Amino acid sequence: MTPTIGILGGGQLARMMALAGYPLGFKFVFFDPGKNACAGQVGPLIVADYGNEVALEEFCQQVDCVTLDFENVPVETLRQIAKKKPVFPSPDVLAIAQDRLVEKQFCHSINVPTSDFEPINGLSELKFAARKFDFSAILKTRRMGYDGKGQYLIRSEQDISQIPGDVFNQELILERMVPFEREVSVIVARSASGDMKTWPLCENKHKAGILTTTMVPAKPHELDDKAFEYAVKMAESLQYVGVMVVEFFQTSHQVLVNEFAPRVHNSGHWTIEGAHTSQFENHLRAGLDLPLGDTGMDGMAAMLNWIGAFPDQVHHLTDIGLHWHIYGKKAKPGRKIGHATLTAPDPQQLHDKILQLVNRLGVQL
């Protein structure tokens, strides 16, 4: 069995999927509108827009099945491909994940809690809902936002008045701020035949809406079981195939779904060195309906994102077991260009290694 897997989107997720699939003898073809898509450094890349039917036809002819590294691929593109080749996850799942309102409505339909939310059409609806949420809310576009893009904090009437008028040309959603104690994520792999596995719980830190660090396993908490229960319920209800990741806010008394990613996810990068099988390998195994690999881990792992720039000593600190992942992308502010993973047998040793890293690389976490 040596399938060729097509990936829509040629970023670092596609790149790491291919690096996980090559040892299994799989081949890859990437499809991306950008000619510098970094996956193109590790395999063949078709450069075309997602609406280019000729290019999509060529892509389909070269591959045995199709997955994605980017959830904002047009659903219609995925539906067209699905007529010709197996696709995972399904276009229906993608349609849910692409719209924050539909995503939250889906959660509620299966009794999985989220933060409070209101769909917003125009300024007056925003003012009304902001008052309802006690001016402690975030206005988001329903579609296309990621890494904090297209989001506005609403703390006052003044915050509302400062929102550019053209923002209201889009479909919006207002979400009540959640006074969370921490953010965690659950990575789930589910294969077509229903085999399902989760990795240990990930604890995530963000700065300005961008993930900066993930620590695994998260410090045990009595609400952890709820997070796993919700994530598994979502994957089952969606009849999901592949890896999906559910991000949660955890407050003092509950866990609330923030959003889910219908793909491998930044908070699962630690699995490359930290778990017995990586999220990337199991995503491919799930899609090809091969047995899923063991998702256990020995000890602990910490993942650090490099955003905008690398430290001077990139490639160094290998003596303390730092594993570098450099995506081959041009550095620019706010852009994820790589990550590094540290592993250690216990929390104390991980803490010591992180201190060494901070001191020797001169970085802030």
Comparison of 82 and 314: residue with beta carbon closer to a second copy: 314
Structure tokens at 152: 């506005």
Under the binding rule (CB under 8 A), the answer on residue 2 touching a second copy is yes
Q: In the chain, what is the straight-line distance between the N-terminal and C-terminal CA atoms, in Å?
A: 43
Any known ligand binding at 92?
no
Provide the minimum distance between the beta carbon of 291 and a second copy in the complex, in angstroms, as a whole number: 6
Selected range binding a second copy among 15-23, 101-109, 219-227, 260-268, rule: CB under 8 A: 15-23
Separation CA 27–CA 346 (nearest Å)? 37
Any known ligand binding at 148?
yes
Any known ligand binding at 149?
yes
Residue 325 CB contacts under 8 Å (≥ 6 apart), including other chains: 12, 16, 269, 272, 338, 339, 340, 341
Residue of 119, 326, 335, 363 that binds a second copy (CB under 8 A): 326
Q: Alpha helix locations (H) across 139-297?
A: 157-161, 224-237, 271-274, 279-287
Any known ligand binding at 151?
yes
Separation CA 115–CA 133 (nearest Å)? 11
Residue of 173, 246, 256, 292 that binds a second copy (CB under 8 A): 292
Q: How far is residue 245 CA from its own chain's centroid?
A: 6
Comparison of 18 and 261: residue with beta carbon closer to a second copy: 18
Separation CA 240–CA 233 (nearest Å)? 10
Structure tokens at 258: 């923030």
CB 31 within 8 A of CB 87: no
Under the binding rule (CB under 8 A), the answer on residue 124 touching a second copy is no
Provide the minimum distance between the beta carbon of 274 and a second copy in the complex, in angstroms, as a whole number: 13
Residue of 291, 334, 347, 362 that binds a second copy (CB under 8 A): 291
Provide the minimum distance between the beta carbon of 314 and a second copy in the complex, in angstroms, as a whole number: 7
Sites of contact with a second copy (CB under 8 A): 1-2, 15, 18-19, 22-25, 27, 41-43, 272, 276-277, 285, 290-294, 298, 314-321, 323-328, 338, 345
Q: Which residues are annotated as part of the binding site?
A: 100, 140, 145-151, 175-178, 183, 206, 258-259
